[in-house]
Amino acid sequence: MNLGLTLERIYSDNNWAPPSLHRFFSANGNRFALVNQNKVQVWDTLSNSIRSQFTNRNPVVEVNLNRDGSRLVALFNETLPSGDFARVAQLSDSTSGKALGQPFAYPDPMKKSVLSDNGSYLGTFGGKIAQIWDTINSKPLSSPLEHSNDVSGAVFSPDGSTIVTTSGTSAYLWDTITGRPIRVLSHKKGAKVHAAFSPDGRHLVTSCTDQSLNGLEAQIWDVQTGQPIGLPLKHRDGVLHASFSPDGQLVVTASEDRTAQIWVVATGKRHGPPLWHKDEVREAYFSQDGRRIVTVCRDRTARVWDTETSEPLTPPLKHLEAVWHAGFLSDGDHLDHHIRKHTRAAHREVQLLAGRNVVAHFVDRVDEHRVACPTACAHRWTPIRTRDPAAAR
């Protein structure tokens, strides 16, 4: 069986649209929105079928899907009657394509956004302010959230009750409904902070990086008390990203020191040896069963690793363009069935990164949205003939 397929061939085989159009994926990877100017199609990645499609009044510049892909917010630019330039958001049901609520506009400087898991809240941010919106009632929930430095990111807790914004060396926790500040979690060093919640929302992991070559760290926090949990998760350079395992017992960090590292949440101690790469590691995520990790490296590769042994399960899988994100699909039953039927055990992991079990995103260098660039989709995967970790190195 020839597994060295281009993604163009995979899209063709599955009747997917051409890979020259921008795609925006749900957090679990099971749905994506395909955008062509003012036209939006929502696809199911497991059945390779269109769930809905609609036409927007203006070209769509970004789409945010909630975690399971059942709702989406389409974002587009518009000139208001006052003459001001604004970003407009419209919540829709991704299955029917019907609008939910009215479109609402927010100031142009807040160009970046994040959607809550249930799709009820949209967080927008840009410059030194952030804003939380009720997507159903199309209105802000509170006054703007002001910061001393530029806001670099935002993430909602799994239940949507809290939003965390990152600015400077700190992560700021706010009540979603009232906008009331809850607490600030700060790193002593670093210039930019990334934050991620545990699946149950009880813990938060923050990581920091800067322009220096100094060792930096990630830290796990108790959300209720604001107290650190375990030891700092130290690297020899900046820590670009950190995420929790599905059971919340482990964290994996991605660092500029060319390693990813698995850690035990309760103690902050290492869980196995580092996962070595040839360049800085941009992101790392666990699979839904927690048994595997996918990493994204600056050298235009993605790779899958065994969580328990820290051994590679694939060779570096190369792309023509920079890879900025990769994530696993969540339908384990479907994927196991597909693997057994089409690949057997011998080719399990190459199918995982051939557009079947893993969804890869690529960056648009202009606005840094996670989208698929046209040239990034035409590449060839390296065939794998064994699951033996030694052979995958």
Which of the residue ranges 146-160, 189-203, 260-274, 365-379 would you say has the lowest mean pLDDT?
A: 365-379
- pLDDT of the residue at 384: 28
CATH number at residue 365: 2.130.10.10
Average pLDDT value for residue range 162-177: 96
- pLDDT of the residue at 359: 43
Asked if the structure places residue 154 within a domain, the reply is no
pTM: 0.80
Q: How confident is the model at residue 372 (pLDDT cuts 50, 70, 90)?
A: very low
Asked if the structure places residue 92 within a domain, the reply is no
Q: How confident is the model at residue 107 (pLDDT cuts 50, 70, 90)?
A: confident
Domain total for the chain?
Answer: 1
- What digits encode the pLDDT tens for the residues 323-351? 778 877 654 332 222 222 222 232 233 33
Q: Exposed, middle or buried: residue 5 (CB in 10 Å: 0-12, 13-18, 19+)?
A: middle
Asked if the structure places residue 148 within a domain, the reply is no
Average pLDDT value for residue range 105-113: 83
Asked if the structure places residue 167 within a domain, the reply is no
Average pLDDT value for residue range 309-313: 94
Asked if the structure places residue 368 within a domain, the reply is yes
**Is the CA virtual torsion 95, 16, 89, 173 positive or negative?**
positive
- pLDDT of the residue at 13: 37
CB atoms < 10 A from the CB of 330, how many? 21
Nearest CA among 194, 314, 345 for reference residue 256: 194
Asked if the structure places residue 241 within a domain, the reply is yes
Residues 6+ apart with CB under 8 A from 111: 87, 126, 367
Residue 317 and residue 352 in contact, taking contact as beta carbons nearer than 8 Å: no
Which of the residue ranges 13-17, 56-60, 222-226, 275-279 would you say has the lowest mean pLDDT?
A: 13-17
Q: Are strands 192-197 and 181-186 parallel, antiparallel or unpaired?
A: unpaired
Asked if the structure places residue 80 within a domain, the reply is no
Asked if the structure places residue 370 within a domain, the reply is yes
Range of the domain at 354: 1-19+187-393
Is residue 235 pLDDT above 60, yes or no? yes
Is residue 191 pLDDT above 50, yes or no? yes
Q: Give the H or E element holding residue 264.
A: strand 259-264
